[in-house]
């Protein structure tokens, strides 16, 4: 049996650069950062002063207040992005097709905000003051669960939890489910709301976050003076569809998803493997899975966190995979503008990669002022530029040694 072709027919995003996919993309290609002062928490309590927060978001645009109160913020973001992607796809879920439409939405840390507030209730007022919705609000799979309930999708319902690789692994896993015939449509991506006291405290304690107090320059992937990532939040969701199914209903097709690679470093809980060897293998697998050669790729949406080791090792991994072609690749880290959305990053960055293919625009990496001699490739510094893209990859690398790469190509 030949594998089925899979295409993207809907996109939806809530991100620090915009509360819908097209606003976010417009700001990305204009080089506008969504990073600002840390307002969700008391910044006086932390060495970190900036964050990439969601602004002017109202969940009641999508569901009623009573239902919203039974959900953590990461689920709110997932619902909003999923509804936008579903509406964009013009798909109709009916009694006839519901069992063939699945949901695969991941979250790196799930409802940590709920855990913190309910734990305080328990300590201060006893178990009877803990919300009866505490557990279903907190668990990471609840974004997928609530989206399936809201939209009536009765197919595969799953959740990947692979730290910062979550969104990309989720999309890759959903792609494979359609490819092998287990579903016709998958609503997939990642969601995260990690700007909480304990999350920020934990990342501060392991010195992963930038302590640069200037919101405009704190996230600076591949720059010599980078000093850590900026924590972000949001959700990125796409609708994947069997090509024949999409054609039969006259769907708009953004791009084709053609390859997926997933590997483990087996090295360290937080540090990437030397030389980025695990990430290199993920890229190779994705390119082979798509039946392409490295020189067929024009663009890489890098994981590019703005941490010293990640950016250096990801650069080494790209050189390992692409050889001489690495110097002809356009590479960018859109995290320079969105911050790092952890489990949502791969979902939002998949959308940016799809939009780059659609519009033949290479998004920039902003804040490259002093290039790192060890990061010496073309990171599309500071300004977007035109560029034909027939095939592109998006990388995500997570704590625990999780590496994931997905490959999109122009639909033909």
- Mean pLDDT score, 372-393: 98
- Mean pLDDT score, 391-405: 97
**Domain-located, residue 1:** no
pLDDT above 90 coverage of the chain, percent: 99
Convert the pLDDT of each residue in 62-120 to its tens digit.
Answer: 999 999 999 999 999 999 999 999 999 999 999 999 999 999 999 999 999 999 999 99
Pair 284, 181 in one domain: no
Convert the pLDDT of each residue in 128-154 to its tens digit.
Answer: 999 999 999 999 999 999 999 999 999
What is the pLDDT of the chain when averaged over all its residues? Answer: 97
Domain with 381 in it: 261-409
Pair 220, 272 in one domain: no
Pair 302, 200 in one domain: no
**Domain-located, residue 256:** no
Pair 244, 268 in one domain: no
- Mean pLDDT score, 254-265: 98
- Mean pLDDT score, 279-287: 98
What backbone torsions phi and psi does residue 310 show, to the nearest 5 degrees?
-55, -50
Which residues have C-beta within 8 Å of that of residue 330, sequence separation ≥ 6? 298, 299, 300, 362, 378, 380, 385, 387
User: pLDDT-based confidence at 326, cuts 50/70/90?
Assistant: very high
Pair 348, 210 in one domain: no
Q: Does the pLDDT at position 204 exceed 70?
A: yes
Q: What is the spatial distance between Cα 351 and Cα 18, in angstroms, rounded to a whole number?
A: 13
Ordered DSSP codes for 273-311: PGGGHHHHHHHHHHHHHTT--GGG--EEE----S-HHHH
User: pLDDT-based confidence at 3, cuts 50/70/90?
Assistant: confident
- Mean pLDDT score, 154-168: 98
**Domain-located, residue 38:** yes
Pair 216, 289 in one domain: no
Pair 204, 305 in one domain: no
User: pLDDT-based confidence at 44, cuts 50/70/90?
Assistant: very high
Q: Does the pLDDT at position 20 exceed 70?
A: yes
pLDDT above 70 coverage of the chain, percent: 100
**Domain-located, residue 377:** yes
Q: How many domains does the chain have?
A: 2
Pair 242, 276 in one domain: no
Q: What is the spatial distance between Cα 379 and Cα 31, in angstroms, rounded to a whole number?
A: 13
Pair 95, 200 in one domain: yes
**Domain-located, residue 301:** yes
**Domain-located, residue 255:** no
User: What's the whole-model pTM score?
Assistant: 0.98
CA angle (93, 101, 170) in 5-degree steps: 135
Pair 347, 215 in one domain: no
**Domain-located, residue 253:** no
Among 198, 222, 248, the domain boundary falls at 248
CB-CB contact of 403 with 171 (8 Å): no
Pair 242, 324 in one domain: no
Pair 99, 221 in one domain: yes
**Domain-located, residue 24:** yes
- Mean pLDDT score, 326-354: 98
The b-or-e profile of 213-222 (16+ CB within 10 A means b, else e) is eebebbbbbb
Among 248, 277, 311, the domain boundary falls at 248
At 1 the pLDDT is 59
Q: Does the pLDDT at position 302 exceed 70?
A: yes
The b-or-e profile of 244-271 (16+ CB within 10 A means b, else e) is ebbeeeebeebbbbbbbbbbebeeeeee
Q: CA-based Rg of the chain, rounded to a whole angstrom? A: 20
Known catalytic residues are: 164
CATH of the domain at 115: 3.40.47.10
Among 204, 219, 248, the domain boundary falls at 248
């Amino acid at each position: 049996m030949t594998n089925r072709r899979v295409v993207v027919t809907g996109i939806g995003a809530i991100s620090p650069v915009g509360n819908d996919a097209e606003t976010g993309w417009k700001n990305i290609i204009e080089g506008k950062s969504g990073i600002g002062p840390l307002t969700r928490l008391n910044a006086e309590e932390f060495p970190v002063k900036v964050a990439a927060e969601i602004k002017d978001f109202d969940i009641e645009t999508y569901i009623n207040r009573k239902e919203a109160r039974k959900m953590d913020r990461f689920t709110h973001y997932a619902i909003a992005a999923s509804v936008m992607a579903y509406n964009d796809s013009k798909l109709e879920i009916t009694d006839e097709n519901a069992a063939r439409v699945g949901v695969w939405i991941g979250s790196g840390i799930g409802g940590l905000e709920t855990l913190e507030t309910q734990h305080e209730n328990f300590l201060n007022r006893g178990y009877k003051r803990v919300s009866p919705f505490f557990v279903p609000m907190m668990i990471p799979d609840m974004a997928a669960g609530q989206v399936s309930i809201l939209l009536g999708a009765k197919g595969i319902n799953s959740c990947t939890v692979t730290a910062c690789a979550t969104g990309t692994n989720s999309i890759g896993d959903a792609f494979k489910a359609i490819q092998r015939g287990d579903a016709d449509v998958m609503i997939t991506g990642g969601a995260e709301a990690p700007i909480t006291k304990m999350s920020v405290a934990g990342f501060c304690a392991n010195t992963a976050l930038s302590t640069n107090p200037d919101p405009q320059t704190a996230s600076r992937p591949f720059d010599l003076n980078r000093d850590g990532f900026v924590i972000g939040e949001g959700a990125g969701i796409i609708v994947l569809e069997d090509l024949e199914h999409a054609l039969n209903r006259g769907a708009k097709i953004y791009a084709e998803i053609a390859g997926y690679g997933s590997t483990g470093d087996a090295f360290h809980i937080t540090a990437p493997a030397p030389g980025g060897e695990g990430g290199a293998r993920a890229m190779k697998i994705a390119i082979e899975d798509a039946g392409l050669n490295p020189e067929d790729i024009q663009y890489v949406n890098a994981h590019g966190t703005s941490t010293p080791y990640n950016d250096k090792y990801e650069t080494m991994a790209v050189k390992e995979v692409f050889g001489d072609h690495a110097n002809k690749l356009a590479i960018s880290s859109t995290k320079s503008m969105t911050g790092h959305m952890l489990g949502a990053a791969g979902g939002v960055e998949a959308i940016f990669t799809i939009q780059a293919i659609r519009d033949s625009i290479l998004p920039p990496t902003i804040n490259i002022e002093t290039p790192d001699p060890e990061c010496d490739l073309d990171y599309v510094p500071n300004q977007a530029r035109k560029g034909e893209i027939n095939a592109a990859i998006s990388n995500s690398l997570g704590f625990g040694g999780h590496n994931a790469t997905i490959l999109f190509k122009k639909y033909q």
